[in-house]
Structure 1
Amino acid sequence: MKVILIADVKKVGQRGTLVTVADGYAQNVLIPRKLALPATVENLKKFEREKNAVQSKIALDEAFAKRALADLNGKTIQVIAKANEKEKLFETIHAKTVIEAIAKEYNVSLDSSALTFKDGPIKTLGSHRVIIAVQSAKAEVFVEVIKK
């Protein structure tokens, strides 16, 4: 029996795939547990519409990310932190702090996994390069750490 998987199923397939399984397995396991739908013409059309909607949303999100990162590219973000006389910070600056500064200054929300510190977490005063990568878009920003 052909079914459309609506959830990932081990040893069968991933969500959104059309697979052929034994009739008993489909009728007694997959369909009652709402892991799959019978591959009727109506269900295939419905699933195709949903798939197209998701793809268009992904494309829209990617376009927004590219535009936002193009605006951020080359900008300087200022972060204020406590430091000693040797310009060494009392507390390391991590991605979360930089993301909060970007959100406050440029009104762009990012995930911490999008940031890559060129030289590791920031531990000293001065300017530091940070790479932001979201999907296929990249930007390089400078984080200026100022003594409090």
Structure 2
Amino acid sequence: MDIVLLEDVKALGKKGQIVKVNDGYARNFILPKKLGIEATSKNLNDLKLQKANEAKIQAEQLEAAKELAAKLGELSITLSIRAGEGGRAFGSVSGKEISQAIQTQLGLDIDKKKLVLPEPLKTFGSHEVPIKLHKEVTAKLIVKVIES
């Protein structure tokens, strides 16, 4: 029996693949657990339409990410931290603080998990912070850290 997989099945195949399995395996395991559906012409056509829709949504998300990256490339945010002895920074600026500053200063909602910040910013001045908006799009935002 030919089955179109709806989810990844270990040792059988990936989602969207058409695989040939024994009738009993399909009836007793794959179909009841909704891991796949029978590969009829209607189901194959539905799968093709679903893949086309997903591709369209992915393209729209990629375009939106590119537009946001272009917008972020022109903008900057300013954060202030206290200065300790000798003009050294007392504390640091974390991804959470940068995310909140983007929200308040620019009005954009960017999750702190999208910021590619290996460690908090501990020095004054301008820093370029990469933001992973999409798996193919990374924007750079200028973060200016000043003394308060």
Q: State the TM bucket, normalised to the shorter chain.
A: 0.7 to 0.9
Task: Flag the 1:128–1:89 CA change in 2: closer, same or farther, 3 A.
Answer: farther
| Contact 1:83-1:125 within 8 A present in 2 as well | no
For 1:52 and 1:107, the matched residues in 2 are separated by 33
For 1:70 and 1:79, locate their aligned partners in 2 and report how far apart those are by CA, in whole Å: 22
1:95 is displaced (CA, Å) by 1.9
CA shift for structure 1 position 113 = 4.0
TM-score (norm 1): 0.86
Deviation readout 1:89-138 (Å, 9 max, x if unpaired): 32x32222212222322233334343224x84201222212122323223
> For each residue in 1:5-46, what CA deviation from the matched residue of structure 2 results, as whole angstroms up to 9, or x when unmatched?
111111111222211112211111000111111111111111
The one-letter code of the counterpart of 2:90 is: L
Q: Choose 121-130 or 38-47, whichever is displaced more.
A: 121-130
Query: How many residues were matched structurally?
Result: 146
CA contact (8 A) 1:3 1:39 kept: yes
Q: What is the one-letter code of the residue matched to 1:126?
A: G
Checking the alignment, whether the CA contact within 8 Å between 2:7 and 2:16 is kept in structure 1 is: yes
| Match in the other structure for 1:132 | 131
Q: Given the two structures, how large is their TM-score scaled by the length of structure 2?
A: 0.86
Q: In 2 relative to 1, CA 54–107 (structure 1 residues): closer, same or farther, beyond 3 Å?
A: farther
Counterpart position of 1:87: 88
Q: Calculate the aligned-residue CA RMSD, in Å.
A: 1.9
| 3-state SS of paired residue (1:123) | coil
Query: Are 1:70 and 1:139, in contact at CA under 8 Å, matched by a contact in 2?
Result: yes
| Equivalent position amino acid for 1:128 in 2 | H
Given that 1:129 and 1:142 are in contact with CA atoms closer than 8 Å, whether structure 2 keeps it comes out as yes
Q: Given the superposition, is the C-alpha separation of residues 8 and 41 from structure 1 closer, same or farther in structure 2, using an over 3 Å criterion?
A: same
Which shows bigger deviation, 38-47 or 125-134?
125-134
Please tell me whether the aligned partners of residues 81 and 89 of structure 2 are also in contact (alpha carbons under 8 angstroms).
no
Q: Take 1:13 and 1:38, find their aligned partners in 2: how far apart are those partners?
A: 15
Letter in 1 for 2:115: L
Residue of structure 2 in register with 1:27 after alignment: 27
Instruction: Give the fraction of aligned pairs with identical amino acids, expressed as a percent.
Output: 32
Is the strand fraction higher in 1 or 2? 1
